[in-house]
A and B are shown apart, each in its own frame.
Chain A
Amino acid sequence: MSGTALDPRTAPTFPMAAHKLMGDTQLRKNVRHATDVIQNKRAKVVGEMPDWQGLREAGKSLREHTMKHLDVYLEQFERNCTAAGGVVHWARNGEEAKRIVIDLVKASGSNEVIKIKSMTTEEIQLNTALEAAGIRPYETDLAELIIQLGKDQPSHIVVPALHKNRQQIREIFQREMNLPDLGNTPQDLADAARLFLREKFLKVKTGVSGANFLIAETGGVCVVESEGNGRMCLTLPETLITIAGIDKVVPRFQDLEVLLQLLPRSATGERMNPYNSVWTGVHPGDGPKAFHVILMDNARTEILADEEGRQTLNCIRCGACQNACPVYRQTGGHAYGSVYAGPIGAILTPQLQEMHHAQTLPYASSLCGACYEVCPVKINIPEVLIHLRNKVVKQNGPFGPEALAMRGMAMIFRSEARFRAAQRFGRMAETPLVRKDGNGEGWIGWLPGLLGGWTQVRDLQEMPKETFRDWWEKRADAKGGKHGN
């Protein structure tokens, strides 16, 4: 049912994937429009908060504190969830998590599941594994439904079908729901989805969800959403299975006060999510009879062990960094070769993969800092990107052309004499490439090798005949003074 999954292990490099996507003008228009709309909404509801910066600081402290004592809070969650009638499972990685889900679904006697939008299940490609085990997953979030029916992949962590416009969605529904006469107003499309999904809600006995937060103090699980499909999945099935990364825990119920202000305003530009569900264990005659939580590590412990990378785990998956990122806005999410796209993906994916398969992602940023500026828990994404770049450099060893060039330049910068010589040499070496323009100025329109990317759309002015140093020293000579100090 699902298309070729976004998998960092097989994905092309970022520049290659970006090249392909940037030829899709419709996709770029859709991404631009959608991110503009969300950014404007966010700016409005953030602007009305007098204490926004204080809230961000509180969110950051809260997440830092939790990560510092993650073991304590996870065990506390396990105890309280179990006491409330839930069953807690621990999964070291995606494979273990998938096996647990499949076993639980089979034990529930069902061969179908209804799903709430969950990036964690996307991360481990749960749907593919369920299908392989003969279990049919139905996505119930509208955007995830569009992705699933269109055999597509999510391109945004909050708005996964943001790269599609209404006409494209209508075509998918017409084809996949067998509705040739479907209209194209938002109402038509929502009605079609509602009819299609209502039947699944009433029929399917097992639900699978992710979690926005796990509350250690109560053993409760919190999911926020906009469509009410989540509420259906959490209340109608007999068995409910929740998969959550171990980073999703918060210490106290009261901590939601901070996080549920930061998250909706940052994610969808809403003051509050339309549906906020918190459920704790099982209750006779009310909701699912069996409730399971799978706490999944999947490399999060390794990230936690890395002093400089660990702030990545503070992420609450609002997607504000994606909307703000000028790189994401040009390419859309699929260029990142992972379900986690944009700035957060550029730092999270390489760490989930121990870097081997995602070496170009930390470089998919101009380090402009727009992501850091909007992050509700103040993750310094540029700082983590630089840290990961350093890891890439170390992984690639000292003998590549870039490493050699960088070491050469560093050697030049370590000596005044070499610096002066390099300036002279540069002027000489560039001479064959310099052409005079109509104003008699020298410009370079073509550069070789690694530097060729520059001259695709840019010229480079020749080095000045007189450097600042030359001017400074000539002036000092004229004054009869000394050169430096």
Chain B
Amino acid sequence: MVRVLERLGHTVEFPAGQTCCGQMHYNTGYQAEAMPLLERFVAQFKGAEAVVVPSSSCVAMMRDHYPIMAEHIGKPELTAELNKLLPNVYEFSEFLTKRLGLTDVGAYYPHKVTYHASCHGLRNLGLGDGPQQLLRAVKGIDLVEIAGLEQCCGFGGTFAVKNAEVSSAMLAEKTNAILNTKAEACTACDNSCLMHIQGALHRQRTPVRTIHLAEILASEDGAVIA
């Protein structure tokens, strides 16, 4: 992501104090534990021209839940900072297509790839086919569509552990759909889905890899896969 943004002429900064958006805590029911992480986020990123995030579910957490959380915390200056910051928080593909209006970022990736639409990107952020537009503009790529594009991979954070069996069955459908495309790699805008999918593809001893969208867009020589 850094490579792509710098290639496009942007200055990237990385606030070293950043940690976690608190999604895992919030979604599992530990709202109280997530509150300080919102305050931390605002302290770390306030004043940024744009905050670019390589994970659609983290952005969904910020957009959908941070305003409600800030209301609960009840500090007016925190709410004010958050309100200034949030319109400038973007998921990576969204930043490229919506804020910068780009589809071709000069990448070269001569491989057969399928795209997995993460639920939060698809439904909460409404990314639509923005990520596919970016992928289609990559030179050399063979983008193949997956069956059941809108189906969840079964990760769901702690769901994968608490309901491991149901999660596994959902995942099996997803990996079957990926294998049916005969793609060399599956890409997405969210590393958590990819970690989940990669875990099963590796266990099944398939050579198919997962790769984040940013890694494909960063590739200029196309020499390595993942």
Contact = CB atoms under 8 A, between A and B. Distances in A.
A326 B20 contact: no
B152 A370 contact: yes
B13 A485 contact: yes
B216 to A, nearest CB: 17
Interface in B1-23: 2, 13-17, 19-20, 22
Interface string A337-370: 0000000000000000000000010111111111
A458 B37 contact: no
Contact of B195 (A389, A437, A457, A461): A461
A386 B162 CA distance: 15
Contacts of A18: 163, 165-166
A457 B33 contact: no
Contacts of A437: 202
- Binding site of B, secondary structure by majority: helix, strand, loop or mixed? helix
Interface stretch (B75-83, B96-104, B169-177, B180-188): B169-177
Contacts of A454: 160-161, 164, 199
- Binding site of A, secondary structure by majority: helix, strand, loop or mixed? helix
Contacts of B36: 410, 414
Contacts of A14: 163
A143 B150 CA distance: 30
Interface of A: 14-15, 18-19, 22, 326-327, 330-331, 360, 362-370, 372-373, 383, 386, 388-393, 402-403, 406-407, 409-410, 412-416, 419, 437, 443, 445, 450-454, 456-461, 469, 472, 483-485
Contacts of A363: 158-159, 162-163
A456 B19 contact: no
A211 B165 CA distance: 37
A450 B161 contact: yes
B74 interface: no
A193 B21 CA distance: 57
Contacts of B169: 22, 330
A407 B22 CA distance: 12
A155 B6 CA distance: 54
A413 B21 CA distance: 9
B37 A414 contact: yes
B199 A366 contact: no
Given A484-B13, A484-B15, A484-B16, A367 B168 contact: no
**Residue of B31, B156, B161, B172 contacting most chain A CB atoms (<10 Å):** B161
B55 interface: no
Contact of B159 (A367, A443, A457): A367
A458 B151 contact: no
Contact of B160 (A365, A392, A409, A453): A453
Given A363-B162, A386-B27, A453-B161, 11 more contacts: A19-B165, A22-B166, A22-B169, A326-B170, A364-B163, A366-B167, A406-B25, A410-B36, A414-B19, A451-B161, A457-B164
Task: Please name the 7 residue pairs, one residue from A and one from B, whose CB atoms are nearest each other, closest first.
Answer: A366-B156, A453-B164, A458-B199, A389-B29, A484-B16, A368-B152, A410-B33
A413 B165 contact: no
B28 A460 contact: no
Interface in B176-226: 195-196, 198-200, 202-203
**Residue of A412, A437, A472 contacting most chain B CB atoms (<10 Å):** A472
A18 B167 CA distance: 11
Contacts of B15: 484-485
A18 B34 CA distance: 30
A369 B119 contact: yes
B151 A326 contact: yes
A408 to B, nearest CB: 10
Given A416-B17, A453-B164, A389 B27 contact: yes
Contact of B165 (A22, A362, A410): A22
A367 B27 contact: yes
A389 B157 CA distance: 13
Contacts of A419: 19
